[in-house]
Structure 1
Amino acid sequence: MKKILCLFGAVALMLTSCSSDDDKTSSEENVVLLPKTEKYTYATNPQENSIVTYSYDGNKIVSLTYNTGEKTVFTYTENLITKAVYTETYEGAMRIFTTTFTYDNGKLKSSFQVGSANSLNKRRTYTYNANGTISTVTVLINPTTQLETQDSSSTLTLDASGNIVKAEFNDLTTIIEYDTKNNPFRNVLGFTSLLDSDIFDKDVNSVNNIAKVIEKSGAVIEGTTTYTNSYNSDNYLIKSVSGNETYEYTY
């Protein structure tokens, strides 16, 4: 967003001298919105279409509920999300996945997901490196034998706003470009602290909105995905289109 130019002078002078654009920007910076619904449309696979409804206690998210029956309920410790319980019906049976999060001085330290019977548990740890990157290791755990198998590892690079701009997996690299507008969830307490956790059904928990994703294998670009984003008058995302997929938000 543009910085407010009218920083000095009497209030009366500010009101008369600042341009209408600057006044609008000032009001936008003070607007705090929370998404009420997210509508997902998959043009070529309409059976995947869904609507998610979000409920809150102030700026803390209480739950997200899908029109298809799935639901996630959140628990906070102070202003950080420390538990998310996801429920779904699969082949006629209820399945529950509980993810707990730990932090160190406000930074995500680990996540641990426990599933229903016959599903593997999953633990991811985060290490904050001296160069500013974050290393992650994901381990799958057999709930019966407790045998651990490394599933993946990655190195995350963040920009000054805390957006993940690069994720490196062995010889594979994902580069993410963002707009400068407001992610619908940026005002949800604890959202951005979750980094790459997918409990919001998002690839990354960012302040801004994804504009382009570039997938590389070594130096070779394997694929590029672009997003066409639309915003409301307060610069919050209301629609994002990429290929056959569309996300729409109400506030």
Structure 2
Amino acid sequence: MKKILFFSALMLIFTSCSSDEESSSENLDSTLPKTISFIYPNENLGTNSIGTLTYDGNKIVSLTREQSKIVFTYDGNTIKKQEVFDLDFQKNETKSKEVLYAYENGKLKTRILKVGFADNGSEALSTIKTVYTYTSDALVNYNYYSVSTSGQEKKEGEGSLELKDGNIIKDSKTSGASKITTTYEFDSKNNPLKNILGFNLLLNEVDGFGKNNIVKTSRVSTEFPNPAVYLTSYTYNDKGYPIKRTAFDSSGISIEYETEYTY
């Protein structure tokens, strides 16, 4: 499952009667997406759906699609939990995934992913823990572990994230003899999720998230040393936010999927 791709534009303008203060009035952008439509030209690659987002101010509450729902829980201004539920035809919820986040000195320290909850129980079938270490503002190292039901941890791999201008530009991940390196190039426009409170702290948790939008993804691995390149194009509104995202497959010709946004 893709990690998450994510009402109206509200511009707060502070002015006063003084002409000097008017000249330095501040514009605060509170643009948030209302809906995200996922469109797959090839039905073998995915099912078309529309996701509806709800907020409490600029805190995201939920993202609901026809057959799934993601619920977010905050602790102050940081996201502490994300829960994913499967929905049946009667909209009954079955919990399938949970992610717990912990922070240290205002930065993400640990991410605990739990998958597979039998009958909505509290016991997960699989647990992966990721621990982040900040070498600098531009480099974050991480180790990830599998966790048994008894709490025993086994290291499964490690990696590093390179950051620049609010975007992750490189993700290198090693597990055993396997290594995958992914590099990203960005535009200078607004990512549709940039104003959601707390998303900027989640590093690579939200696929493709950054201050701007990914236009090119290159991936190499020990199994496939020749780079696989994926291009993405956008149509923007007058505020520089995408209203349509088109992702191409590695051929650069065929459309893999499209995403449409309303604000």
TM-score by length of 2: 0.76
Secondary structure, aligned partner of 2:201: helix
Give the distance between the partners of 1:95 and 1:31, measured in 2 at CA. Answer: 34
Unaligned stretches of 5+ residues in structure 1: 1-9, 16-25
What is the deviation of 1:158? 0.2
Tell me: CA distance 1:203–1:152, structure 2 relative to 1, closer, same or farther (3 Å). farther
Higher fraction of strand: 2
Give the 5 Å matches for 1:66-215: 66-68=65-67, 70-89=68-87, 94-115=94-115, 116-117=117-118, 119-130=125-136, 132-143=138-149, 145-160=150-165, 162-170=166-174, 171-197=179-205, 202-215=206-219
What is the deviation of 1:217? 3.8
What is the deviation of 1:93? 8.8
Do the aligned partners of 2:132 and 2:142 also contact (CA within 8 Å) in 1? yes
Secondary structure, aligned partner of 1:192: helix
Aligned-residue Cα RMSD (Å) equals: 2.8
Q: Mean alpha-carbon deviation: is it higher for 115-124 or for 98-107?
A: 115-124
Q: Mean alpha-carbon deviation: is it higher for 213-222 or for 77-86?
A: 213-222
- 1:116-150: per-residue Cα shift (whole Å, max 9, x none)? 1462111111110147311111212222x434333
What is the deviation of 1:94? 2.5
Q: Which amino acid aligns with 2:97?
A: F
What is the deviation of 1:154? 1.1
Give the distance between the partners of 2:227 and 2:65, measured in 1 at CA. Answer: 33
Secondary structure, aligned partner of 1:48: coil
Unaligned stretches of 5+ residues in structure 2: 1-17, 119-123, 249-255
Higher fraction of helix: 1
What is the deviation of 1:221? 3.9
Tell me: CA distance 1:131–1:75, structure 2 relative to 1, closer, same or farther (3 Å). closer
Q: Which amino acid aligns with 1:167?
A: D
TM-score by length of 1: 0.79
